[in-house]
Structure 1
């Protein structure tokens, strides 16, 4: 994949929203995917924990989630984005998605490493997300521990809590 070595990870900006929404729709079912309004809210509230990966100035992936006192993602958080704690707590991940043309090049692992680095700098205890069963091996490869079935009925799917101690 051309330019992947020159990938830059930066904070997401409002101008990135169309590309973020395109990648979200390519990576998730209509029931799972966040809306434009939800992503605008996340851009406003999640400064420092909403990162994009860019190749040649084009968004090719992103990771987003709040830093909260809650150790796990709860379904209500998708609708009402909590504001980030300044320090401490847990770094949650709502979504990590890579443009299909760039999958398999390690970009997802690099985004996880970048958000982990920011979480450590802010003295977070864990990195936590929910995942469909088919993606659990990817997260385990990246240091996450499967804590079992989540208390989620998001999109009518079975989700698993994955946690990475920091």
Structure 2
């Protein structure tokens, strides 16, 4: 297994994995990924099994403390000096789930965010994943204002000053 940052050349592969991991109403499109990979490719963590992309995490950095739906569509809101690492997606191909791969990536995102001096990491998830993210130190802040994909999301926050 190998973790690396993304490049624009990863566009088709990233979009294909996203399409397998999220329902159409929630999945980022190839067009979304073009702007994300152009503006903040170093905030994509890709996990490969030999030559196959099996899992990835991505999101922008901002001074905004809460994840908003606008961020998904406006890559230009990224601020490399921002305090908060947002996570838009934690994707693992269905046949590779329950092997700890997403956890490896989350640990890398946490380590990198801490090394970059971020205050913390923010993501939203469905209720069935609250306990999963809590294992990494994320705290449930309740129902998010996000209505992305017409789903109820819960905002989770990991404060890195409290993280050992």
2: CA distance between counterparts of 1:83 and 1:75?
A: 12
The residue aligned with 1:40 is: 34
| 1:39-92 CA-partner distances (Å, limit 9, x unpaired) | 011101113211110110221111000110011210011111135433351000
Query: SS at the partner of 1:70?
Result: coil
2: CA distance between counterparts of 1:62 and 1:15?
A: 15
Give the length in aligned residue pairs: 160
**Runs of 5+ consecutive residues of structure 1 not aligned to the other structure:** 1-6
Tell whether 2:106 aligns with 1:112.
Answer: yes
1: CA distance between counterparts of 2:25 and 2:10?
A: 22
Contact 2:39–2:76 under 8 Å retained in 1: yes
2: CA distance between counterparts of 1:138 and 1:27?
A: 17
1: CA distance between counterparts of 2:127 and 2:50?
A: 33
1: CA distance between counterparts of 2:74 and 2:157?
A: 22
The residue aligned with 2:128 is: 134
TM-score under structure 1 length normalisation: 0.91
**Runs of 5+ consecutive residues of structure 2 not aligned to the other structure:** none
Contact 2:8–2:41 under 8 Å retained in 1: no
Contact 2:143–2:153 under 8 Å retained in 1: yes
The residue aligned with 1:3 is: none
TM-score under structure 2 length normalisation: 0.92
Per-residue deviation at 1:14?
2.2
Q: Which has the higher helix share?
A: 2
2: CA distance between counterparts of 1:82 and 1:149?
A: 26
The residue aligned with 2:47 is: 53
Output the aligned Cα RMSD.
1.2
